[in-house]
Structure 1
Amino acid sequence: MSRSSLVSSSMPLGPISNEKNQADSARPTKRHQGFTLVELLVVIAIIGVLVGLLLPAVQAAREAARSMQCSNNLKQLGLGLHNYASTYNGAFPNNGYSWPGGYPSDYSPLAKILPFLEQAQLQDLIDFNIYMGHPALADLPEGLHEAAGTRVPTYECPSDINADVHLLTMPSGASIPIAGTSYSMNQGSGLDGVYHPSVGEPDGLCWTNAKVKFRDILDGTSHTIVFAETLIGGGLESDTPTPNMDPQFFRAGVSEASTAVANLADSGDIADVQSYITSWNGDRNHYWLRGTVPNGPIINGRLSPNSNIPDLVRGSSKITAARSNHTGLVKVALADGSVQTVTDSIDLKVWHASWTRMGREVETISQNR
């Protein structure tokens, strides 16, 4: 076959190329479009629903972790108390001692168990020979300022939103930082009419000049509360009785802290004690160092857990409730070292029975788990 015949039989290159270009140009062009507004709104709505479903679960998980840490704090306090008692011949830490002609030397039980909570270096800052004086008449001695303003993690519930350093205005007008606590020691049931931690001998475990030992808990250590939760106050004050403040964050100053007022408070209706309320303050448990002072960590169980009635305070006399930010419950440490959860709906007779050391009650919170 000749070269010319090969050439003549071949398809022309030019026309093929032109036809291909024309075919390509005739095809529709694929356009890459973004989301339409409707699609975007649908995606946002779906994400919102997912967040709405997940957020409560995340919050619940966080609160479960905080609740567990709170229980661990109370467990540590109970263990610290046992180690203290082992060191001091079975005796519990008390609320200080009477001082000749003056206010008690009221170093709190929490100040005394520090070395048994791996806080020996903090207790080294406390000279228990220093007399602190009357809180309304004398400034806290300067040698105690550093200790008073030091936060102790074991003393603070993670759910307590006011766990922080607060300012204390002293009689001279000077202010110093002081640290508080979410836990208080059992003074008594409040049914005995003893509301001041330095007057009389209550039916609980801790007061001024107390000499309670494990052997004195005739009701049994597994039936007697030793520490209970209570919320640190919000810090604000009001000199007027109204409007009513949130009892979880504020205490009510009253014209008298008496059995008559406590009996009225048993109803759980603030209207029944409204006529006795003269002011509001937010310094509950601001002071872990001192016990007898109104803002110290001593508590009685007269009011139900998380009561709608605010803690009622007249000077250092108090009618109080265990309180927490855990929904519907509070945690307590029993004298045997165990930690129990108590619901707000606990029967008051059972609740009160758990605050006495020798009330001989048949039923306590240990039987109501």
Structure 2
Amino acid sequence: MFRLKNHWRLRHLSVHPTGLTRLRSTQPMNHRGFTLVELLVVIAIIGVLVGLLLPAVQAAREAARSMQCSNNLKQIGLAMHNYASAYNGKFPNNGYTWPSGYPSDYSPFAKVLPFIEQAQIQDLIDFDIYMGHPALVDLPVELHEAAGTRVPTYECPSDVNGTLHHIEMSSGATIEVAGSSYSMNQGSGLDGVFHPGNGSPSDGLCWIGAKVGFRDVLDGTSNTIAFAETLIGGGLTQATPTPAMDVSFSRAAANVAIDTTLAEQTDAGNIDNVMPYIDSWTGDRNHYWLRGSVPNGPVINGRMTPNSNVPDLVYGSSKITAARSNHTGLVKVCLVDGSVRNVTDSIDRDVWHASWTRYGREVKTVSSE
């Protein structure tokens, strides 16, 4: 051992395999790590990048859901065309009158199942079975399986309540039923016909005993709505009118009969106008694709504009409704010609109403906007 020059620390002598002698330092290496400030900066940068990325991811997902929703409506519109080809040019209606009173209200969605490649579900339905008044008799047990079968084409991917829901029948027993994010056009609601099951003809396409076909759409198939989106209810109920519930999840039960006078209160789009007429709230909108005339069936009118701030109103089986969706600022509709269009919430009320009538002879409709 010996002292090295330049004040080096002591090193060990080692012999290299080549025979050369080299020094090996005993001084530990100085490894530099991250400081706390640097680590926090990196975390902050990652947080900003994630914050920028999430909206883009969400937008991409919604774009995919929107495309699937449009495809669903396209398939339903095509099914209506094929149904009409098979049944003398007539569209599927909302059922037929029944001698004992309440109609046998198999919905149009029950009728077009074979044309959306769901014949196996329609095989579960015996259309000769009378379903009866929903407030007086239970749904026949033979129809329970069909009623509780979800149909993917009938559910918008953006509809968070697209699932099975329980309904209580007149006996107090409960069954599971599947709903629809789409409804068929009963009419504009301007003609005073608000009940889709009393057999009264409306200015739309679908009611009990309707025999409407392509030749009856005098406004043109590209100017008349056949189907529109409407959100499936969230299932929550409230026995009092206040506080007002979210109109996207719930609808209001009116304390007076649905008529033109009440409908006029909805025209301003202000919920305060209708609060005096609300008795309670229900969450069963469109829970029931199998039946059309029941309050929770998939047939609506276009009296209120899309995604209205006023809740859908129901009294018995009469309704004042709005097309609704979870797509930001718009709803999708399928026209009689089978085309699908986006309609913004800000659409002119008169143009919107014109698109729900089959013979209004209006110049402007959703197709011209």
Give the shorter-chain TM-score range. over 0.9
Q: State the partner residue of 1:340.
A: 341
Q: What is the identity, as a one-letter code, of the residue corresponding to 1:229?
A: E
Question: Could you tell me how far apart the structure 1 residues matched to 2:58 and 2:262 are?
Answer: 39
After TM superposition, list the pairs within 5 Å mapping 1:303-322 onto structure 2: 303-322=304-323
Which amino acid in 2 is paired with 1:296? Answer: G
| C-alpha distance in 2 between matches for 1:122 and 1:315 | 29
Partner in structure 1 of residue 208 of structure 2: 208
**Residue 273 of structure 2 is aligned to residue 285 of structure 1:** no
Cα shift readout 1:226-255 (whole Å, capped 9, x = no counterpart): 000000000011110000011111000112
What is the CA–CA distance in structure 1 between the aligned matches of 2:351 and 2:167, rounded to whole Å?
Answer: 37
Match of 1:359 in 2: 360
Distance (whole Å) between structure 2 residues aligned to residue 52 and residue 149 of structure 1: 41
Q: Is the 8 A contact 2:66 2:158 kept in 1?
A: yes
Structure 2: tracts of 5 or more residues without a match = 12-22
2:58 is the counterpart of 1:71? no
Give the equivalent residue in structure 2 for 1:5: none
What's 2:328 paired with?
A: 327
Match of 1:99 in 2: 98
Q: CA deviation at 1:25?
A: 7.9
- Give the whole-Å Cα distance in 1 for the aligned partners of 2:9 and 2:111: 95
Query: For residue 249 of structure 1, what is the aligned residue in structure 2?
Result: 249
Partner of 2:49: 50
Post-superposition offset of 1:285: 0.2
User: For 1:131-210, what aligned pairs fall within 5 Å after superposition?
Assistant: 131-199=130-198, 200-210=200-210
AA aligned opposite 1:251: R
SS at match of 2:203: coil
Aligned equivalents of 2:248, 2:120: Cα separation in 1: 33
Q: Contact 2:250 / 2:282 at 8 angstroms: preserved in 1? A: yes
- 2:10, 2:26 within 8 Å by CA — same for their partners in 1? no
AA aligned opposite 2:206: C
Q: State the alpha-carbon separation in 2 of the partners of residues 228 and 179 from structure 1.
A: 18
Deviation at 1:44, TM superposition (A): 1.1
Q: Distance in 2 between matches of 1:31 and 1:190?
A: 82
Provide the rounded CA distance (Å) in 1 between the counterparts of 2:321 and 2:110. 21
Instruction: State the alpha-carbon separation in 2 of the partners of residues 35 and 17 from structure 1.
Output: 35
Q: In structure 1, what is the Cα distance between the partners aligned to 2:3 and 2:209?
A: 113
Alpha-carbon distance, 1:30 to partner:
2.6
Higher helix fraction (1 or 2) = 1
Give, in angstroms, the shift of residue 42 of structure 1: 1.1
- The answer for the alignment partner of 1:22 in structure 2 is 10
Counterpart CA distance in 2 for 1:131 and 1:55 is 51
Taking the aligned partners of 1:145 and 1:234, their CA distance within structure 2 comes to: 21
Structure 2 counterpart SS, 1:366: coil
- The AA in structure 1 aligned to 2:170 is P
TM-score (norm 1): 0.93
In the other structure, the counterpart of 1:117 is: 116
Query: For the residues of structure 2 that align with 1:63 and 1:107, how far apart are their CA atoms?
Result: 33
CA offsets 1:25-59 (integer angstroms, 9 cap, x no match): 88864332432222221111111100000000000
Q: Secondary structure at the match of 1:222?
A: coil
Q: Contact 2:226 / 2:333 at 8 angstroms: preserved in 1?
A: yes
Runs of 4+ aligned structure 1 residues displaced above 3 Å come to 14-21, 23-29
Percent pairwise identity: 72
> Comparing 191-200 with 326-335, which one deviates more in the overlay?
191-200
Q: Kindly report the root-mean-square deviation, in angstroms, between the aligned alpha carbons of the 2 structures.
A: 1.7
User: 1:44-77: per-residue Cα shift (whole Å, max 9, x none)?
Assistant: 1111100000000000000000000000000000
Distance 1:114 1:252 in 2: 31
Question: Which amino acid is the alignment partner of residue 186 of structure 1?
Answer: N
| Alignment partners' CA distance in 2, 1:271 and 1:74 | 33
Q: Normalization by structure 2: what TM-score?
A: 0.93
Residue in 1 that maps onto 2:16: none
Find the aligned partners of 1:298 and 1:128 in 2 and give their Cα distance.
19
Q: Secondary structure at the residue paired with 1:341?
A: strand
Is residue 2:222 matched to residue 1:219?
no
Larger Cα Rg: Structure 1 or Structure 2?
1
CA contact (8 A) 2:138 2:170 kept: yes
Distance in 2 (alpha carbons) for counterparts of 1:15 and 1:55: 66
Counterpart amino acid of 1:362? V
How many residue pairs get aligned? The number is 355
SS at match of 2:357: coil
Distance 1:198 1:124 in 2: 24
| 160-169 vs 195-204, which moves further | 195-204
Report the residue type matching 1:187 in the other structure. Q
How big is each residue's C-alpha offset from its partner over 1:155-211, in whole Å with a ceiling of 9 and x where there is no partner? 000000000000111111111110000000000000001000123211000000101
